[in-house]
Chain A
Amino acid sequence: MNLRLAWLRWSGRRPAVRAWALMSPGAAWLLLFFLLPLLFMFGSSLMPARLYGGVDLGFTVEHYKQFFEPVYLWILWRTVLYSLACTALCLLMGFPVAYVITRAGSWKNLLVFLVVLPFWTSFIVRTFAIMFLMRDTGVINTVLLATGLIDEPLALMPSGLAVMVGLVSGFLPFMVLPIYSSLEKLDPSLLEAAEVLGARPVARFTKIILPLSMPGIVAGSLLVFIPALGSYVTADLLGGGKSDMMGNLVQRQFTTAGNWPFGSASSFVMMAMVLCAVFVYLQQRDRAQAMGA
């Protein structure tokens, strides 16, 4: 007890010490079990490939050069487009859901759990279920044919649309949960006050709801966009495997192609791109906060 008090008294005057104490266990875990091994991989991306996986000693930038050939850049470009579209759709669908959940009173927890419930079944089983819904003889086509709305089954799958359905249903909670957690602290009386003061619904949304939920929107968008860049099973199963994404490329380098350094190099190019964007955003945010303070 005395120790605790002593610590509190000592650290109370040193906020930095306390902040670092809070951060150190998590930071240490990340350093040791994530960044350090990743550093190995970065090193390996600069070494010649060894047959059947692994690397040989030496230094080379050939793997980075290789990535900047058109065929690979094209894959990167397509991946970015798909991920952006997926993020936009998740935002469009996820924001209203998150908003409704925060207003749902005692149903709140239940609705949150319902959003994640599908994710406690295996991703691949859900993907197969989507295939079942969308294939030529699937539920959607059967229903449409039976009602006479169409004469020929629609070619819903495999297609870009099917990939998008798979991606969005796979990443939606990553958008809903952060938005929900930041909207949840929105004080309803604030909205009432605004209403009383005559603010129109649009103004209430743009002046109050949107700014307050911005951190959640940004966190959600990043949590959807970034992992979507690395997805690969969806494109294979729902897209017919005809248009590779970065995830497929990287996965294959570590498996059938046995070219680990090229797999690492492609990953690092993609990650560098993402992290630069994140860094710029965070810098802006902090600057804005500093201005506001």
Chain B
Amino acid sequence: MSNERAKIQLVEAFRDGEIERRDFLRGALGLGMSVGTIGLVLSACGTEEKVAPPPPPATPTAPAPEPELGPIEGELHIYNWSDYIAEDTVKLFEEEFKVKVTYDTYESNEEMIAKLQLGGGGYDLVCPSGYAVTILVKLGLVDKLYKKHLPNLSNLAPIFAKTASDPDGAYTVPWQWGITGIAYRKDLIAAAPDSWAVFQDAANKGKVTMMDDMRDNLGAWLKFRGKSLNSVDPADLAAAKADAMLSKPVLKSYISAPVKGQLVTGDVWAAQLWNGDTMQAKAENANIEFAVPKEGAAIWCDAMMVPKGSKNPRAAHEFLNFILRPEVGAKISDFTGYGSPNAQATAKMATPVAYPSDEQMKSLEYQQDLAAGTAVWDRIWTEIKSG
């Protein structure tokens, strides 16, 4: 019993930085902790160290002058979603700033977070979605931005300059924004869908799909009943689950963006999809349209952040400032089909995506981190998916 307490004290002392790694190891082995446990503690505390940086956050009394970043050195490592940047953006940046850029892609926020969390990476810029922004900040895996090096921030549209996940705009430079609504074939479906109910309509059986993601799927059904898509209220979630179960037999499949091909061929008449991807599909088949359900939908804004331990923060900031230039931002958004949070860039786009009006914003909602509620959501989602 006392041994247990000693172990816990030891771990706490190590976590709080009271003892050295070597002393911790010696003590831990002495107390008979298993190697696996020690490894876990070491890696867990590795993150912990990053969570609580030794100097307290800038005191409100006398804001120290913002420190300068050093010069550009070495390479710039960008980690982003696939197909999410104009083809020449990186090349133009490399030429102008004389820095080599490696551009790698990931498939999910969680994959990227896990890597940053466990010390993998070596990336200078990552591009999480809204709720993942919150997680990265909470876990202390990202650095605040040096606004001094980002004069082009003033180009941002006010509604995207500060988002729910980064209320002070201290950590993020917004990248692209979009809405998760309904893409449909106006020539195939009986009536243009204006409600999530289209996914429960037996007339569409086997011809409609929803996204294979619990946040998007249950979120839509929460909106359907007029609830917040961030709700963790058991009653709300039970209702959402009931709606999801009603729609399951109607759905052809749970599938995310790859549904585009099936929309183009007409295998699918309507699909829950992002607006930008809908536009990409529309380029191949003019019968494809996009609708935002009257009950409301998710709006999102992915953002660039600089991970802690970035070896080349100056280049990262220069890149962020570069993409905030109107002509660069316009090109990116014209390529992705999404909206640009950059007002100046939107003005320069070939096919600008209009900002939502205040009226529309009333029914649109940002996904936020569910924290402990995630487990409840996952349980419900598993029950839906495995039935």
Contacts and interface: CB of A to CB of B under 8 A. Distances in A.
Interface of A: 36, 39-40, 42-44, 47, 49-57, 71-72, 74-75, 78, 128, 135-137, 155, 158, 236-237, 239-244, 248-249, 252-259
Nearest to B136: A52
Given A135-B265, A135-B267, A53 B375 contact: no
Contacts of A259: 375, 378
Contacts of B381: 252
B386 A71 contact: yes
Contacts of B41: 57
Given A241-B385, A255-B108, A52 B138 contact: yes
Nearest to A258: B374
Contacts of B87: none
A71 B385 CA distance: 10
Contact of B114 (A47, A136, A239, A254): A254
Contacts of A43: 34, 36-37, 40
B225 interface: no
Interface stretch (B91-99, B226-234, B247-255, B319-327): B247-255
Given A135-B262, A249-B382, A256-B213, A54 B36 contact: no
B51 to A, nearest CB: 11
Sorted from nearest, which 5 A-B pairs have the closest CB atoms?
A240-B253, A241-B254, A43-B36, A255-B110, A257-B378
B278 interface: no
Given A53-B114, A54-B117, A240 B35 contact: no
B44 interface: yes
B113 interface: yes
Contacts of B267: 135-137
Given A47-B40, A256-B215, 13 more contacts: A44-B36, A44-B40, A49-B375, A52-B113, A52-B139, A71-B382, A239-B253, A240-B254, A242-B254, A244-B386, A249-B382, A249-B386, A255-B108
A56 B8 CA distance: 11
Contacts of A253: 378
B11 A53 contact: no
A155 B138 CA distance: 47
A242 B253 contact: yes
B31 to A, nearest CB: 13
18 contacts: A51-B372, A51-B374, A53-B117, A54-B44, A136-B267, A137-B265, A236-B212, A236-B255, A239-B253, A240-B252, A242-B248, A242-B254, A243-B387, A244-B382, A249-B386, A256-B214, A256-B215, A259-B375
Nearest to A57: B11
A36 to B, nearest CB: 8
Given A55-B44, A241-B255, A254 B36 contact: no
A243 B374 contact: no
A256 B47 CA distance: 20
Contacts of B8: 57
B255 A40 contact: no
Given A44-B40, A240-B252, A54 B47 contact: yes
Nearest to B8: A57
A51 B117 CA distance: 12
Nearest to B211: A241
A143 to B, nearest CB: 16
Given A237-B255, A242-B385, A40 B378 contact: no
A238 to B, nearest CB: 9
A52 B212 contact: no
B379 to A, nearest CB: 8
B39 interface: yes
Contacts of A249: 382, 386
Contacts of A52: 113, 117, 135, 138-139
Contact of A256 (B34, B251, B378, B383): B378
A255 B138 CA distance: 17
Contacts of B117: 52-54
A239 to B, nearest CB: 8
Given A40-B40, A53-B110, A240-B252, A137 B266 contact: yes
A257 B108 CA distance: 12
A31 to B, nearest CB: 12
Contacts of A136: 267
B375 A257 contact: yes
A52 B47 CA distance: 12
B93 to A, nearest CB: 30
B39 A40 contact: yes
Nearest to A128: B258
Nearest to B213: A256
B371 interface: yes
Contacts of A51: 371-372, 374
Contacts of B36: 36, 39-40, 42-44
Contact of A258 (B35, B110, B386): B110
Nearest to A255: B110
A155 B383 contact: no
Interface in B247-304: 248, 251-255, 258, 262, 265-267
B213 A240 contact: no
Nearest to B7: A57
B252 A158 contact: yes
A78 B382 CA distance: 14
Contacts of A56: 44
Given A43-B40, A51-B372, A57-B41, A243 B253 contact: no
Contact of B251 (A53, A155, A242, A255): A242
Given A53-B117, A57-B41, A74 B111 contact: no
Contacts of B206: 155
Nearest to A241: B254
B101 to A, nearest CB: 25
Contacts of A49: 375
Contacts of A135: 262, 265, 267
A254 B117 CA distance: 13
Nearest to A39: B36
B14 to A, nearest CB: 11
Q: Chain B CB within 10 Å — which of A78, A136, A249 has the most?
A: A136
Contacts of A47: 40
